[in-house]
Amino acid sequence: MSLLSHYLLVGGSFWSLGIWNTLRQPLLWQTTLAFSCPLMLAAVGGTISERSGVVNIAMEGMMLVAAFFSAYVADQAGTAWGLGPPEAALAGVAGAIITASLIAWLHAWACIRFHANQVVSGMAINLLALGLTSYLYYTLYGSNGTPSNLAGIPNVHIPALSGISFLSLGSILFQQNPIVYLAFASVVLAHFFLFHTTLGLRIRSVGEHPRAADAAGINVQRLRYLAVILSGALSGLGGAYLALNGPHGLFTDNITGGRGFIALAAMIVGKWTPFGAMGACLLFGFGQALAIQVAGTTLGNFQLSVYIVNMLPYLITIVAVGGLIGRSTPPAADGLPYDPAEAA
Amino acid sequence: MIEATEARPAAPNPSPPAEEPHRRWYAPLGQLAVPLGAIALAIIIGGVVMGVAVSSCQGGSICSSGLPKHISVPLNAYWQLLIGAFGTPYDIQETLVYAVPLMFAAFAVAFAFRGGLFNIGAEGQLYAAAIASTFVGYSLTWPGWILLPVCIVVGVLAGALWALIPGLLKAYRGAHEVITTMMLNYVALNLMHFLLINGITGTPGFMQGPLPGNPISKSTNTTFPIIVPHSWVPNAQLNLSLVLALICGVIFTFLLFRTTLGYAVRAVGSNIKAARYAGIHVNRTIVLTMLISGGFAGLAGMSYVFGIGGGQMADTFDNFTYGFDAIAVALLGKNTAVGAILAAVLFGALDHGGTTMQATAGIDTHIISIIQGLIIFFVGAEALVRFLGGRGFTVTRFRAAKPETEVPAERAAV
Amino acid sequence: MANDRVSLEAYRGQILAVVGENGAGKSTLMNMLSGMLHPDEGDILLDGRPVQFKSPRDAIAAHIGMVHQHFMLIPVFTVAENVVLGLEPNSPVVFNAREARREVGSLSQQYGLRLNPDDKVQNLPVGLQQRVEILKVLYRGSDILIFDEPTAVLTPQESRELFVVLRDLAAQGKTIIFITHKLKEVMAISDRVTVLRLGKVVGNLVTAETNPTEITKYMIGRDVLPSVHKESPNLGESVVEVRNVRCQSDRGLEALGGVSFEVRAGEIFGVAGVEGNGQTELVEVLTGLRPVSAGEIILRTGGRTVSIGNRSPKQIRELGVGYIPEDRRDRGLVLGYSVADNLILGIEDKRPFSRRGVMVPARIRENARKLIPQFDIRPPRWAVPAGTLSGGNQQKVVLAREFSENPKLLIASQPTRGLDIGAAEFVHKGLVEKRDDGAAVLLVSAELDEVMELSDRIAVIYEGQIMGIFDAGTVDENRLGLLMTGGDEKTHEQAIDLNAPALEAG
């Protein structure tokens, strides 16, 4: 409800500022979907992890590492293994998902087995990821960067549907990158998984009241590991998207630039549900897309610096988390390590 | 509607509690075990990464010692690091120079931790302070002995102000400060870029110095005086900000442990319900904690510009290192002033020695970030450190008391 | 060691009561039987055959079901979801909600538990929530049911209903093991009794052949049930007057619906009621932790008359109100702080402990050194973190702090919860002492015995209303119990009153 009013607010203010024309650009909406994609993947993953009771701030780090390794593996696949572009890119995606899942496992291991403070572990992983990817990037690719012919995953045109010209829906919705479609699919699948499957029921029970779940014979630790690794895999896919989308892949230092944290905010704004996270991610993606569109254009009498406009998504996030949505409650046992030996 | 009771059950404990903290003189040394273990593990793993990723050893006598590459490369690297950090008096004071802003930032993070808050926004707060104090520094033409203290105060206020919003949002809206402070980091970063570069072709940044196209601010009319005599070290950069940092350490400890405000901060950090029941204004305390934390962070930014920066704010504040490194430093130092200072010196050594290491041994400096990240990871997962350390460390079995030197057991809304 | 070579036997179709004081090891024993904890030594024999439980799953497979005192229920899930969790019917991947609802509904009917499978557990009253727990173990085909202090959260009537269910289950061949420290229940419902003290079994008795006094002797090793000696009250003027106070609960519903009473100096005013009927909110309103939505609270101390509704906790405390919170670990103490620091919690900004914001360690230590022996706090070390103390000693710290401020109004909320007999005695003595010193004492407790023993006047609170105020001695437990459930004569419940005579005889 309040997300809707936020949309109205943003839309209304921009209309009154006289850039209604900007909103009618299909490019704006295409970019919105494209920008929301990695956010959605990470946010849905985060939702699953936190529903099981494990706080996951490390999505930024997992995405970053995944992005790097997607580029690296795609590169190796193209050169050392001799695979053609589509296969190399797929190999890159696989590499990304595997790496991110490994990192997620590390986070899970520290938090579940050793009761590490989950926020600290998450931050540590973010720092580690930044250091590791920067180090490997500069050591392996030096000042030239990733190869310019690195395999990528180009957008697809869905036959027939992409020709719809009403509101330019065809070009907006049906000419996207395949990973974008995967992202939306993941939202639906995650919702079904969490709320309509047995495993999902058990995962939620673990996040609400691990002792009760334990008493019911459920393996709390194992489910938490599963949830965290799943979140890693999804973040990994998001990272692969960042590096490999487009006709050619590209990795630059710190390519994620805080997206993992925005995804985190989206999860909270979405009240720990997959569809809620999706809505929030679309909102934030819109903010980013708008920023790009508007940068450099004139607004009244003065130009908008790209830096000012860059701030927009972050400011929107702050407002969303701090203001409009009121307090949203996490799963009851979120963030608390579960110790079976604690006397009942 | 009646709700199920959530009363705490009685501990099945017919005999008096067995656990009693040691009162022996060497007891505090037990606190060192985890930080040292974390450092050791990080160094080892960093060494492994180097040994695998680097193709050949270069630049040191260790390289020709006949050891296999996997061993000689890291050993050589660390040796170069050590020399680089402490080899000459110049190096020693450079290490300290690197360490000073970290000390301030670590005080910020540690103070917030004590109050139960994660201030990830030290980076943004120090940018804000740098901007504000630089502006005041070049706008006013007062004599140095007035201007410098004024700029110090401006730095503190600006940092505090940048932390105010997250503080208010946390206290009155329950918004998690990890997100709000992190977002403000990016906002501050962009603000700084905007003020220096502006981003619109043809227009100089508002604060940009006289050389257009060069993202450096105008020069301030004062800087911290260098405190190392020229005769000792010709190019010394170590300045008065070191003294200021040490004074802040004292202030930190005094505030936290000898004032009623500190008592309230720590109580809120430990047990909000008890604090509320005791009549402590929890919301007000949260906001104050963030303000003070931001103030310390502000000093980091201000001292950087007016110290190493030579009175100019440049676009080369490293990518989020001070603010994030401060988290590691605070945790390593167990959220105490002395610990933070020592850990900051360690990180300063890693930073400064790292540049030498890159120059002589050819190892990319980002390995340092990896090591620092590993340190945080291990400090956070301290049980992991104990586990790997084996029976050498004692493990306290009761979980009731939350020692305040640990990271607050955050009931995260994240 | 919580259990020391314990052995007990239970027989099919019978109800065995396991009794002991708090900390005697009952819960640990039951946790071993239900697979949550692992015995270091000894065997568990089922029908003569030894079994080993590595997890709750094993115990469940052996048809042992535990009904926990602190419910193991997921508040946001429905009854059906809670019951089938872990053993979901016909649900290999997709959760078969319909099947779950059907099975839970029919099971509930079969055992007369009257539960609606679609209700969210958090919306159910405590008595029904307990039935969900019972349904859980029945659903898993338990033949041995273990109940851990089941009546702790029930009214006397709800307890009686529970006993009917238990008798029924036993008659159907189930074995019931029942942990309690209430002897009246033991006499009313059990066939056999096992007594634990300090982790050891000290007696295996047949209920019909024993009596409460004998059981008590086994439990505490002493002959007589101690009771507090109390002189008649020396009443002064009214210290606090509550007028038509209303307030809201955390979830926005009305927790207090127009409450009025007063407490006078020199008396202990007891508020009896089952937890969850507004007592917590009442105490919070009096101590400034919750806003008042209507009505007033008037405090008369030191010659001044002040309205304290909606004031801050600090202001109220400074007016001379002391508060012993119901959850000392959560509210009353900062576990990470030393004993000395806890002894000044709430007054840390006063002289002599601090001057203009700066604390004076010497005075804080001095204060601790004075109070620790006075209140027999063990271990007697001011620097020890409060979290390392036993429950009784922690409560003593809270008492020491509150008493040392000489409050005119002392509010004690569940002050002896989780304490053993010795510590509870100490607390009771302290409260009576304060009352004799002329303070007004407001006692809120779910333990009816405690309220009846200590209070000069007793009020019953039910669903946010005061159902009646009586002078002690003019009302008996049954009347109070009836009022605790609303006082409406529900005739069919009285018909189930099979045990009324047995309870009174105890």
Mean pLDDT for A102-125 is: 87
Q: Which of C422, C170, C348 is nearest to B262 (CA)?
A: C348
- Band of pLDDT at residue A28, cut at 50, 70 and 90: confident
A201 C-beta neighbours (distance < 10 Å), count: 25
Mean pLDDT for B392-413 is: 36
- Above 80 in pLDDT, residue C237? yes
Is residue B205 a part of any domain in this protein? yes
Phi, psi for A90 (deg, rounded to 5): -60, -40
Q: pLDDT tens for residues A36-81?
A: 999 999 999 999 999 999 988 899 999 999 999 999 998 888 888 8
Mean pLDDT for C323-342 is: 85
Full residue range of the structural domain in which residue B136 is found: 90-227+235-326
Mutate to test the interface with B, among C202, C318, C334 (most CBs of B within 10 A): C334
A192 C-beta neighbours (distance < 10 Å), count: 13
- Above 60 in pLDDT, residue B403? no
8 A C-beta contact, residue C60 and residue C82: no
User: Which chain A residues touch C73 with a CB distance below 8 Å?
Assistant: 209, 212
User: Which chain A residues touch B38 with a CB distance below 8 Å?
Assistant: none
Residue given tokens 């030096």 in the structure block? A142
pLDDT at C492: 27
Q: Which of A295, A238, A246 is nearest to A263 (CA)?
A: A238
- Above 80 in pLDDT, residue C506? no
In this prediction, what percent of chain B has a pLDDT beyond 90? 26
Q: Which of C255, C269, C276, C31 is nearest to C154 (CA)?
A: C276
Cβ contact A307–B193 (<8 Å): yes
Q: pLDDT tens for residues A144-166?
A: 777 877 878 888 877 777 667 66
pLDDT at A322: 76
What is the residue extent of each domain of chain A?
24-343
Cβ contact C386–B271 (<8 Å): no
pLDDT at B280: 86
A323 C-beta neighbours (distance < 10 Å), count: 13
8 A C-beta contact, residue A122 and residue A130: no
pLDDT at B25: 52
Mean pLDDT for C193-209 is: 80
- Above 80 in pLDDT, residue B128? yes
Q: pLDDT tens for residues C437-473?
A: 888 999 998 777 888 889 999 998 887 888 888 888 8
- Band of pLDDT at residue C493, cut at 50, 70 and 90: very low
Is residue B352 a part of any domain in this protein? no
- Band of pLDDT at residue C282, cut at 50, 70 and 90: very high
Residue given tokens 């986070």 in the structure block? A107
Q: DSSP states of A193-246 as a string?
A: HHHHBHHHHHHHHHHH-HHHHHHTT--HHHHHHHHHHHHHHHHHHHHHHHHHBS
Q: DSSP states of A236-254 as a string?
A: HHHHHHHHHBSSB----TT
Mean pLDDT for B157-185 is: 90
What is the Cα–Cα distance from A22 to B368, expressed in whole angstroms?
Answer: 45
- The answer, yes or no, to whether the previous bond of C379 is cis (omega within 30 of 0) is yes
Put simply, whether C72 touches A (Cβ < 8 Å) is yes
B38 or B266, which is more confident = B266
What is the Cα–Cα distance from B148 to B154, expressed in whole angstroms?
Answer: 10
Strand duo C175-180 + C144-148: pairing: parallel
In this prediction, what percent of chain C has a pLDDT beyond 70? 87
pLDDT at C304: 82
Cβ contact A209–C74 (<8 Å): yes
Mean pLDDT for A77-103 is: 88
pLDDT at C301: 83
C38 or A91, which is more confident = A91
Put simply, whether A343 touches B (Cβ < 8 Å) is yes
Put simply, whether C313 touches B (Cβ < 8 Å) is yes
pLDDT at B3: 29
| CATH code of domain A24-343 | 1.10.3470
pLDDT at A343: 37
Is residue B125 a part of any domain in this protein? yes
Is residue B405 a part of any domain in this protein? no
pLDDT at B383: 61
- Which tokens is B30 given? 């037990």
Q: Which amino acid is at C345?
A: L
Q: pLDDT tens for residues B133-145?
A: 988 888 888 887 8
Q: Say which range, A69-83, B312-326, C119-133, C399-413, has the weakest mean pLDDT.
A: B312-326
What is the Cα–Cα distance from C496 to B392, expressed in whole angstroms?
Answer: 63
Q: Which of residues 106-125 of A touch B (CB under 8 A)?
A: 110-111, 113-121, 123-125
Put simply, whether C495 touches B (Cβ < 8 Å) is no
Cβ contact C88–A198 (<8 Å): yes
A100 or B411, which is more confident = A100
Chains that touch C (3 or more CB pairs under 8 A): A, B
User: Which chain B residues touch A308 with a CB distance below 8 Å?
Assistant: 190, 194, 199
DSSP element (H, E) containing C398: helix C391-404
Mean pLDDT for B304-311 is: 83
Is residue C200 packed enough to be buried (19+ CB in 10 Å), middle (13-18) or exposed (0-12)?
Answer: middle
Highest mean pLDDT among B311-320, C415-424, C487-496: C415-424
Q: How many domains does chain B have?
A: 1
C362 C-beta neighbours (distance < 10 Å), count: 10
Q: Say which range, A116-130, B187-201, C302-316, has the weakest mean pLDDT.
A: B187-201
The full 3-state SS of A91-150, as one line of letters, equals HHHHHHHHHHHHHHHHHHHHHHHCCCCHHHHHHHHHHHHHHHHHHHHHHHHCCCCCCCCC
pLDDT at A19: 60
8 A C-beta contact, residue C393 and residue C377: yes
Highest mean pLDDT among A48-62, A308-322, B396-410: A48-62
Cβ contact A211–C31 (<8 Å): no
User: Which chain C residues touch B3 with a CB distance below 8 Å?
Assistant: 122, 126, 276
CB within 8 Å of C120: residues ≥ 6 apart: C75, C76, C77, C78
Q: Say which range, B21-35, B261-275, C97-111, has the weakest mean pLDDT.
A: B21-35
Put simply, whether C390 touches A (Cβ < 8 Å) is no
Put simply, whether B32 touches A (Cβ < 8 Å) is no
Put simply, whether C1 touches A (Cβ < 8 Å) is no
Put simply, whether A319 touches B (Cβ < 8 Å) is no
- Is pTM beyond 0.90? Reply is no
Mean pLDDT for C63-87 is: 86
Q: DSSP states of C78-91 as a string?
A: BHHHHHHTTS-TT-
Q: pLDDT tens for residues A180-220?
A: 999 999 999 999 999 999 999 999 999 998 888 887 878 89
Phi, psi for B157 (deg, rounded to 5): -65, -40
pLDDT at C487: 54
pLDDT at B410: 40
Q: pLDDT tens for residues A262-314?
A: 898 888 888 889 999 999 899 888 888 877 776 655 554 456 677 777 787 78
Put simply, whether A218 touches C (Cβ < 8 Å) is yes
Query: What is the 8-class DSSP label of residue C120?
Result: B
